Amino acid sequence: MPVIERHVLPLTEQMEEELFLGLRTMQGVSIQRFQEKFKMPLQAVYGDTVATQIAKGYLKQEGDWLRLTESGKFLGNEVFQEFLLDEY
């Protein structure tokens, strides 16, 4: 099948997508995989956001994994919105 159009996602959108898709799963987001994939620590990109969402009780970190809590699952879209990047 011929390719009619190709859209390359900017790095910021790729990072956002990694968080959105990963947090929608039971497994969550691997902090190590994020660093390997994007060549920068998740903490450097989302450190303040992660800390805020953990403090609110919407996220939890278990070892290498960042996951939604039960409250976070209920408010998923609001949590995901906090991970939108203006620019990095």
Distance of CA 29 to the CA centre of its chain: 7
Question: With a cut of 70, which residues of the chain have pLDDT below it?
Answer: 1, 3, 87-88
pLDDT in tens, 62-79: 999 999 999 999 998 899
Domains of the chain (ranges, CATH numbers): 11-81 (1.10.10.10)
DSSP the chain: -------PPPHHHHHHHHHHHHHTSSS-EEHHHHHHHHSS-HHHHHHHHHHHHHHTTSEEEETTEEEE-HHHHHTHHHHHHTT--S--
Q: What is the pLDDT of residue 7?
A: 72
Rounded to an integer, what distance in angstroms lies between the CA atom of residue 30 and that of residue 18? 10
Q: What is the pLDDT of residue 80?
A: 92
Q: What is the pLDDT of residue 87?
A: 58
